[in-house]
A and B are shown apart, each in its own frame.
Chain A
Amino acid sequence: MFLETLGATIKFALNQETVLLDFFQSMQINSKNENLKKIIDRLYQLSTRNLKRLKRIRRENTTEMILEPIKGLEKSKFTFDKVVVNEISELEVVNCLKNYLTRIILFYSESAEKISFIGEVSYVFEQFKEKYQELLSLI
């Protein structure tokens, strides 16, 4: 299954950010590791901001003049399923977190390139990628 329109791509991003947000929220409650908790707080704030910005770019940057089809964004490469945090160990949580962030970084990285015909959207995706990369490096 491929993401072939701007709307489908942003909808996918919104869904994934929502899964992340739920995950971060449950980790804020369940995690006992203080250092990790601080990173999780930052991730939670980042994801909250991303959701707002995604809705905004969907409203503001969908320009009919350049609504070109998107090619080569395979959904399954970036998809991750919801995990119930309190049923897994802390090590598993960290692994899961790394997996999530790696996939979302990959998604923003590839989609920024594929949507380069709308510079504003591409730029925002690049920013999201960099912020997640920065936080992943701290884990």
Chain B
Amino acid sequence: MNGEILKNYINGKWVDSTTDRTRDVINPASGDLLAKTPICTREEALETIKAAKEAFWKWRTTPAQSRIRYLYDFRDALEENFDDLVEVVTQEHGKTLDESRGEYRRAIENVEAATHIPSLQMGYNFEEIASGIDEMVIKQPLGVFFCVAPFNFPVMVPAWFWPYAIATGNTYIVKPSDQCPISMIKQFELLDEIGLPKGVVNLLHGGAEVVNALIESPDTVGLSFVGSTKIGKLLYKKCGDVGKRVQVQGGAKNFITIMPDANIDRTIPNLITSFFGNAGQRCLAGGVLLTVGNIHNPLIEKLVEAAKQMKIGNGMDEDNHMGPLASEAGMKKVLEYIQKGIDEGATLILDGREVRNEESLKNGFYVGPTIFKSVKPEMSIAQEEIFGPVMPIVNVKNLDEAIEVIHDNPYGNASSIFTSSGKSARDYQYRVQAGNIGINIGVAAPIATFPFSGMKDSFKGDLHGQGKSGIDFFTEDKVVITRWFD
């Protein structure tokens, strides 16, 4: 990629966009231009919808066993090209190679899970619901679905949706992140190679104009969105207005609670991964550390020491633990929050801004691990999603107070507790209003066969991505009641 304008993949062909509006795709480790994303038009969106709609009936009437064979081929192609594919994610996003491998592995798991469709899409029946009458449920596909994907997991997040959608017999349009679109281009090159029928999956770049066209079209059925809560709520409302199915995975502020009986040495690596992994740009990343009682001081001491040991640098170097933020805007936002934390009276005990003085990191969007103590729950750094490697630490008296602080926050994506007490763990999973709960796990990421949950402002909709919820989202339950006369 040398600054070229990326193409769309519509109706089985790579096509240039007609727009002259583009967004630069920048390697965040070096500041180099990689490519330009076309900000496509409404007309191009309508053309893509038309292709997906025309492909629907033929695909829908293709037996499921035949449909999933394409996914087996695609899975093999991903494995064969794995090493090259993960490098593309690292180059355009900045995450380390290990993190890109982890992301791709989860994407592949989703493709594999979607090959279980002949079992997962099975309906059910019951005979003799009345004399001589039987009843059944058939799970039928609906038409054209689409997703609007985020930059933080440019490969994995679309894979929560499109493999299940096409396996169940729908057709699909992926609108990748305009900031990190190249990984998705690489996947579509492989999809093109395996010979999936034209129009079944389509790739369309763009921004608000394209998304609005996809929502407003009477020929699309539903949207899967992962991104900010602000945009998510807007799209949720828009979809509601036009009667679209929708699943919106929004922002997060994930609280990690450390009980006095936690095993500190086992907990520290989990906290490092949770808060600083992927440079803090996960919707499951730790957002606030709640230390309960007197574990506060010994934990902080070891935590700061461990965070100082982290190597920051280009994700392509296997020795580095953390790469840059994915964009300059993201980096500036994190720097603003660090300043805000200081201004609001929190104590900065590890300053990630210092890495920016290193000569080798000057051209990239780097911020190192940052830790604040003496944080109050009402401070901005404890309330809002920073999406960067910042750990605000709030000390609370007991588990009840911890849960109170968690519930005062509008988000409810994930939350974890570290404890050696089964009772505390049980209380936590029972009471905490968050969709994904970790017990001695820093990143509570569900595998492909479980739904990726979320609550409160972190999720809008009824059915989550992945797992059985995903199958329900992409199908309609049709009830058939039968009676045969003599």
Contact = CB atoms under 8 A, between A and B. Distances in A.
Contacts of B98: 5-7, 62, 67
Contacts of B269: 68-69, 117
A82 B306 CA distance: 35
Contacts of A69: 269, 272-273, 306, 309-310, 321
Interface string B442-486: 011100000000000000000000000000000000000000000
A29 interface: no
Given A59-B79, A65-B441, A5 B102 contact: no
Contact of B105 (A8, A11, A55, A63): A63
Interface of chain B: mostly helix, strand, loop or mixed: helix
Given A64-B106, A66-B273, A69-B306, A59 B319 contact: no
A64 B277 contact: yes
B103 interface: yes
A7 B101 CA distance: 9
Interface string A2-14: 0011111001000
A4 B272 CA distance: 13
B320 interface: yes
A67 B319 contact: no
Given A5-B321, A6-B98, A67 B277 contact: yes
A59 B444 CA distance: 21
Q: How large is the interface on A (under 10, 10 to 19, 20 to 34, 35 or more residues)?
A: 20 to 34
A5 B96 contact: yes
B102 A67 contact: yes
Contacts of A4: 311, 319, 321
Q: How large is the interface on B (under 10, 10 to 19, 20 to 34, 35 or more residues)?
A: 20 to 34
Interface in A50-108: 55, 58-69
Nearest to B95: A64
A68 B311 contact: no
B270 interface: yes
A63 B105 CA distance: 7
B343 interface: no
B321 A64 contact: no
B318 A5 contact: yes
B335 to A, nearest CB: 25
B371 to A, nearest CB: 16
Contacts of A67: 98-99, 102, 273, 277
A6 B310 CA distance: 14
A64 B321 CA distance: 12
Given A59-B105, A64-B102, A8 B306 contact: no
Interface of B: 79, 82-83, 96-99, 101-103, 105-106, 269-270, 272-273, 277-278, 306, 309-311, 318-321, 441, 443-445
Given A5-B318, A60-B105, A62-B102, 19 more contacts: A4-B319, A5-B321, A7-B96, A7-B101, A59-B79, A59-B101, A62-B101, A62-B105, A64-B105, A64-B106, A65-B441, A65-B443, A65-B444, A66-B273, A67-B273, A68-B269, A68-B273, A69-B269, A69-B273
